[in-house]
Structure 1
Amino acid sequence: MTDEVAVAPADVGEVPGARAIRRYTAQAGNARGGASLGTVLSDVYYAVISVALSVLFALGAVRSLRLDVHPSAAVETTWTLELSTVVAVVLGAGAGALLSVAGRLGPVASGGAEAAWWLGLPVDRRGLLRPASLRPPLLAAAVGGVVLAVLDAGLLGAPGGTVLRVALAGALLAAAVVLAAALAQSAGAARRSLALAGDLVALAAAATALVLLVLDVEVPAPSPPWVLVVALAVGVAALGALVDRRLGDVPARSLRESGSVAAQAVGAVVSFDSRELGRALTDGALPAARRRASRLRTVRGPATALVTADLVVLRRSTRHLVQLVVAALVPAAVVLVPQLAGPPGVLLALLLAGYAAASATGEGARRAEMAPVLDRLLPLDARTVRRLRMVVPGAVMLLWSLAAFAAVGVWAGRPVGWLALAVASAPVWAAAAVRAAYRSAPDWSGPLVSTPAGALPGGVAAVLARGPDVVVLGLLPVWIAVLVGRTGPVLLGAQLLFSVVAVLVASSTETRPLMERVLDAQETPEPRR
């Protein structure tokens, strides 16, 4: 019996370098992608135009918000916040959020295919990971510079030279935050620790606003000199060089886990799935095992089991708890700023902060939509399940509404009426959270529409609107009350009616839009008698 050679004999050459491996991988991916140079340039052109238009729109909206308000509408108390102080607090909270996201996604990551092939090769790992380590700081620098430029030019009305220096300083600081997270990752820091540190920084920024309010301390508007900008650039370059030297020390397990979470987050952003993005950010910082288990003493039956499960999910998510606290302070901060304390600013702060808080309370419903294990095991129909899913969001949003509407009541006068409106409007927030959690995914099998973000399904806007539509329509009495600056029995009764309708809409298991249901009902022939 002769031995058969399974592999043809060949000369064994030298192991290629890291750059050659990266180039080969990129060429193989481009060859199978089917995208030409013209397609890539067209996508870049659309992306640049879309970002520029978005920045100009945001700049105009922020500037008009600041110009259209009336300083006399601020709270008539000895406690006021200057606009520059609010901007400084927002920047501190933004730095904490950036550190939290960097910790959850991992500034240095390796995708599934790259981790399976690259990490086992006998080559220098630094050369393989260098492009992956450069993308997060560059992206953070671009976003940080744009956000600071919009805040400085829109809210503070700074001149062009100051805006340029502030934007450069903001970009460098954002890159420094991500590089610091990468350095901690190379030292073996867990993603959960980095995420928790970012959440605590955001919470500390909100607490700083209260301290500055009590002490009546004003933070000056940011105006860094060019010397400081150059010093920041040198510091960021040194930090980047240090991270580059330590890329080989990043554990392979951390690279794989971060790559998996980052791929999940990128896929959610590309497919416009905010629920999947939230799951990626939340699950990326959860511990593998817990030191203690909850006894779940509140479980007394199927209904209490669902409510307890939602409460446990919310209690174990630090990110959502911080989100609730920060969102509760936003309306109070706006009514204390003379330049923002007008009906448009107060209404915008109330709606945006309220929806952010309501979204934080719906994590249990979002997980149930993805894996309805508990819902299927319990002897409850679908409508009852959705109504029970509103219990925890409703209770939490009741507390949030009392805090937020109390600040609005002090701003507008007669806080008692506003507190009653807060109680009446709390079910709307809960209904919006549950409706958004149980919305159906976009139909990618139908015709696609060409957009600057790529090819998207035709009904993606209607899908994304499920949840926010309840806030917009269900809080119409609140809109009117804030714009006219007072409440009354008529608005209170109308809000109660709108809250009942919102709960009924969110309890429905129908996933089709209203217009589609109407058309289907018209096309369905009546049964013969």
Structure 2
Amino acid sequence: MDEPDDEPAVQPFELGEVPSATSIRRFTAQAGNARGGASIGSLLGSVYYAGISIAISVGVALGAAQSMRASLPPAPEVDQPFSLSLATLVVVVVVALAGALLSLAGRLGPVGAGGAEAAWWLGLPVDRRGLLRPAARRLPLLAGFVGAVLVALLDAGLLADPGLRVARVAATSAVVAAGIVLLAAVGQSAGVSRRSTALAGDVLLFLAPVAAVVLAQAGWSVDGLPVPPWWFLAVLVPVLAALAVVVDRRLGRIPARTLRESGSVATQAVGAVVSMDSRELGRALTDGAAAPVRRWTSRLVTARGPASALVTADLVVLRRSGRHVVQLVVAALVPVLVSTVPELASPLGVLLSLLVAGYVAMSATGEGARRAEMAPILDRLLPIEARTVRRLRMVVPAAAMAVWSVVAFAAVGRWASDVPGWIALGLASTPVWAAAAVRASYRPAPNWAGALVSTPMGAVPTGVAAVLARGPDLVVLGLLPVWIAVLLRTVNPTLLYVQIVLSVIAVAIASSIKTGSLMERLLDAQEQEKAGSRR
């Protein structure tokens, strides 16, 4: 047998010039477009559809905000004890939004490269600045747009008519919001951990309502919100441009590991938003700023058996999530602030603050159940029945919502001149919040194999609304006595007894392990009866 000639595995070739980062980005985009099957016409149609939808939504929101401002009662001429002006509340909300934006920027990066970009781009011998420029621009531009819309709605809905004032406020808010994200990017390029940036935002978010309560107790308020002049905006724009230049020059200093982590979190968050999965979005934001190593560990002395171990696990998850603790505190202070503003302290305003703040607090307490739905390790290992597991999952949400109810309903009681009665009603409604948290955590995923409906966010399943309603439906129906009591501004024994009965029913519903809706179960029962009759 003849031996093969010793030939090199790789034939000699000439080395060419290393392509630029811009050409690599263009080649990647062209390859993705060629395999995506989308034409220029469909792309322009999607952009047009999304733009029109956003414009209509902003217009409707501005109209609703202006109508709300016109319907607000005038401020009382006599100063009331423990009260805030409307302008002070708007300032507090703007500061809280800045804290939330800084926290979100820290959790998402703000500069990252995920998926194929991290696997291919970061290892190439090219200038990394050119590769990361689109990712560095994306979040500041989005933050500027969202910040301008939200602050403009606040100003137009609570303080002034739409016009040049609102335009100046919106422009200033856009520049400040983009600047906050760029500051977070500068910190990321300087080696500041994403956890530290997110913690700074959480602290600012926590201090905003606490400072508002202190100001209300001291009797100090702002009479009017100063309008930012155009020269102030002209000064902010060069500062924003300087921050953008600094970030662009320091893009090459960001370690590849940080870029991969940020890109992974951002990709997970975008996928959760597109698929309308709030549970996955919460996991992405929580795990994105989690500490990689803990300096101390708890001995878990409260775990004395299967039931106590399950409750202890939920308590540890809540305690280790600083974002959810801040969320609980801020949600507890929202009804306090709303009830102290004379223009907002109407039955409808107090009711909306209770429901919205309660739902935000409730979602913070269900992290243990949401993680158990994703990875039911303890649920399978412990010798506990499935229904009992769900009841035990309600213990930590019930305890946390009991504390929330004492603070929130005490503020409503001060507004209605009956603090003990309202606290009793709030404690009686605590099981409803806990049951809604567990029911929302264990809800099934939408059926993406069925019929789809076209929306500005893409195609969604037809039954997605029924899936997302699991949890909020218990809040709406189980808190009917609270609705009636707030609208009537009084609490009586009948409403209290009815609330206790509805709380028991809510716990029974959330303890069920059946995932289908009532209509689906009725249809399945009819099909089974038909199949049995045919036999």
TM-score above 0.5, yes or no? yes
| Equivalent in 328, 336, 347 of residue 332 of structure 2 | 328
Following the alignment from structure 2 to structure 1, what is the Cα–Cα distance between the partners of residues 289 and 494?
47
| Equivalent in 275, 280, 283 of residue 276 of structure 1 | 280
Tell me the SS of whatever aligns to 1:450.
strand
Match of 2:143 in 1: 140
1:249-398 to structure 2, matched below 5 A, reads 249-398=253-402
User: CA 1:504/1:4 → structure 2, altered by over 3 Å: closer, same or farther?
Assistant: farther
Q: Does the CA contact (< 8 Å) of 2:82 and 2:218 recur in 1?
A: no
Cα offsets for 1:246-301 (capped at 9, x unmatched):
11111111001101111111110110000000000000111111111110000110
Q: Does the CA contact (< 8 Å) of 2:66 and 2:161 recur in 1?
A: no
Following the alignment from structure 2 to structure 1, what is the Cα–Cα distance between the partners of residues 271 and 16?
38
| Equivalent in 158, 164, 169 of residue 155 of structure 1 | 158
Q: Runs in 1 of length 4+ with deviation above 2 angstroms? A: 3-11, 52-77, 214-220, 526-529
| Equivalent in 86, 92, 103 of residue 83 of structure 1 | 86
**Does 2:513 correspond to 1:509?**
yes
1:120-519 to structure 2, matched below 5 A, reads 120-219=123-222, 220-519=224-523
**CA shift at 1:65, angstroms?**
3.8
- The two structures, once aligned, show a CA RMSD in angstroms of 1.8
Following the alignment from structure 1 to structure 2, what is the Cα–Cα distance between the partners of residues 72 and 493?
37
Cα offsets for 1:68-123 (capped at 9, x unmatched):
45458999941211111111101111111111111011010001211111111111
Report the AA paired with residue 19 of structure 1: T
Cα offsets for 1:33-86 (capped at 9, x unmatched):
111112112211221222223223333444444444545899994121111111
Tell me the SS of whatever aligns to 1:289.
coil
**Does 2:119 correspond to 1:116?**
yes
**CA shift at 1:389, angstroms?**
0.3
**CA shift at 1:494, angstroms?**
1.1
Tell me the SS of whatever aligns to 1:123.
coil
User: CA 1:162/1:388 → structure 2, altered by over 3 Å: closer, same or farther?
Assistant: same
User: CA 1:480/1:519 → structure 2, altered by over 3 Å: closer, same or farther?
Assistant: same
User: CA 1:433/1:62 → structure 2, altered by over 3 Å: closer, same or farther?
Assistant: farther
Match of 1:19 in 2: 22
Following the alignment from structure 2 to structure 1, what is the Cα–Cα distance between the partners of residues 370 and 226?
40
Match of 1:42 in 2: 45
- The structure, 1 or 2, with the larger RCO (C-alpha pairs under 8 Å, 6+ apart) is 1
Q: Does the CA contact (< 8 Å) of 1:268 and 1:277 recur in 2?
A: yes
Tell me the SS of whatever aligns to 1:445.
coil
TM-score normalised by length of structure 2: 0.96
Q: Does the CA contact (< 8 Å) of 1:75 and 1:335 recur in 2?
A: no
Following the alignment from structure 1 to structure 2, what is the Cα–Cα distance between the partners of residues 486 and 3?
96
TM-score normalised by length of structure 1: 0.97
Following the alignment from structure 2 to structure 1, what is the Cα–Cα distance between the partners of residues 78 and 432?
27
Following the alignment from structure 2 to structure 1, what is the Cα–Cα distance between the partners of residues 376 and 211?
41
Following the alignment from structure 1 to structure 2, what is the Cα–Cα distance between the partners of residues 412 and 75?
19
Cα offsets for 1:202-261 (capped at 9, x unmatched):
111122212321332223314100000111111111111111111111111100110111
Following the alignment from structure 1 to structure 2, what is the Cα–Cα distance between the partners of residues 56 and 183?
35
**CA shift at 1:26, angstroms?**
0.6
Q: Does the CA contact (< 8 Å) of 1:66 and 1:339 recur in 2?
A: no
Following the alignment from structure 2 to structure 1, what is the Cα–Cα distance between the partners of residues 32 and 203?
40
Following the alignment from structure 1 to structure 2, what is the Cα–Cα distance between the partners of residues 279 and 75?
48
Larger deviation, residues 45-54 vs 176-185 = 45-54
Equivalent pairs counted in the alignment come to: 529
Q: Does the CA contact (< 8 Å) of 2:69 and 2:156 recur in 1?
A: no
Percent sequence identity is: 66
- Structure 1, unpaired ranges of 5+: none
Q: Does the CA contact (< 8 Å) of 1:74 and 1:338 recur in 2?
A: no
Larger deviation, residues 98-107 vs 52-61 = 52-61
User: CA 1:406/1:356 → structure 2, altered by over 3 Å: closer, same or farther?
Assistant: same
Following the alignment from structure 1 to structure 2, what is the Cα–Cα distance between the partners of residues 7 and 136?
44
Report the AA paired with residue 114 of structure 2: G
Q: Does the CA contact (< 8 Å) of 2:328 and 2:364 recur in 1?
A: yes
Following the alignment from structure 1 to structure 2, what is the Cα–Cα distance between the partners of residues 513 and 76?
52
User: CA 1:361/1:478 → structure 2, altered by over 3 Å: closer, same or farther?
Assistant: same
